[in-house]
Amino acid sequence: MRILVNGAWRETGRNELAGALEELGYGGAVVSTAVNGEFIAAAQRARTELAEGDRIEVVAPMQGG
Amino acid sequence: MLQLYQMTLRSRLLLGTARYPSPAVLADAVRAARAEIVTVSLRRESAGERAGQAFWSLVRELGVRVLPNTAGCHTVKEAVTTAHMAREVFGTSCVKLEVIGEDDTLQPDVFGLVEAARTLCAEGFEVFPYTTEDLVVAERLLAAGCRVLMPWGAPIGSGRGLNNLFGLTALRAHFPDVPLIIDAGLGVPSHAARALELGFDAVLINTAVAQARDPVQMAGAFAQAVEAGLAARQAGPIEPRDLASPSTPLIGTAFRG
């Protein structure tokens, strides 16, 4: 299915967030996630099911003021 | 010592981590500033580049506390969700809460700010709200559960210093026991010294250091300035007066009388 990851359409064969992140190359990275604007904790990713068109945010530490 | 929620700090200078010429210069500037808290942020991570991972490693090696911000958020929902993501990634409940209301000045949306602060404080966050010098907003933020306020000196990155001296002085006088950190808009060390002289507890600097020709030297200059300002405040400055007052005693002056 197609999901919107950080503003770009991506194809994934996985239907849960943890699997999709792994498939997209985020395995092992220190990131935090939100699905359709709702925060999804790392512990919830394995049981967070995705649907066609879901908006995924994957963020990581960055410089800030 | 400065108490900010659970943190007891010696340094009165908080340093932002953005816009430095290189990671090495950032690291040297943090050391030169003798900062104990640096601000950080969250951005979209590319699976290929993983830029955030390298930055996070650098910050951890510095051995300082981090204060994540919600920079770039324009709604309560964005700010609250970003705070949750920051708490997970950075492992801290502290959040520098920004809800931007106007793009030219980056002025906070104080209505959204109060609402987001109320939500986050109720969820156990230690909220550092980026606000204006408005007394009523400050009162509402404290009522929402904030124990620290971060009023702006001037628009972010402007380097203009303490724009509304009267308003900031009134804020300080109105809340004598609340830690107040001047956040944003300071350009040179004298601005920081002035803030401490006026009784503000600390300053947060980013652009003025990061964009200086020599950020490391400027970081050291700001460190000296906040120390001087604090010492002056503690020493009890004299009140300004309109007329001269001779500093040399007049008694016994030759040729008089």
| Average pLDDT by stretches of 10, chain B with 257 residues | 96 97 97 98 92 93 97 96 97 97 94 98 98 98 98 95 97 98 97 98 98 98 98 96 90 86
| Predicted confidence (pLDDT) at residue A53 exceeds the cutoff of 90 | yes
pLDDT of residue B249: 87
pLDDT of residue B238: 94
Full-model pTM: 0.93
Cβ neighbours of residue B79 under 8 Å, at least 6 residues apart?
B70, B73, B97, B98, B99, B112, B116
Say yes or no for a CB contact (<8 Å) between A61 and B42.
Answer: yes
Say yes or no for a CB contact (<8 Å) between A64 and B52.
Answer: no
The catalytic residue positions of B are: 96
pLDDT tens digits, B91-126? 999 999 999 999 999 999 999 999 999 999 999 999
Query: What's the whole-number mean pLDDT along residues A19-44?
Result: 95
Residue B227, classified by CB atoms within 10 Å of its CB into exposed (0-12), middle (13-18) or buried (19+), is: middle
What is the distance of C-alpha B86 from the center of its chain? Answer: 19
Say yes or no for a CB contact (<8 Å) between A61 and B20.
Answer: no
Of the candidates B38, B86, B40, B42, which has an alpha carbon nearest to the alpha carbon of residue B62?
B38
Chain A positions touching B207 (Cβ under 8 A) are 65
- Distance, in Å, from the CA atom of B159 to the CA atom of B104, rounded to the nearest integer, reads 15
Q: Does the interface ipTM go beyond 0.95? A: no
Tell me which residues of chain A have a C-beta less than 8 Å from any C-beta of chain B: 6-7, 24-26, 29-34, 37-39, 41-42, 57-65
DSSP B33-57: HT-SEEEEEEEEPPTTT-HHHHHHH
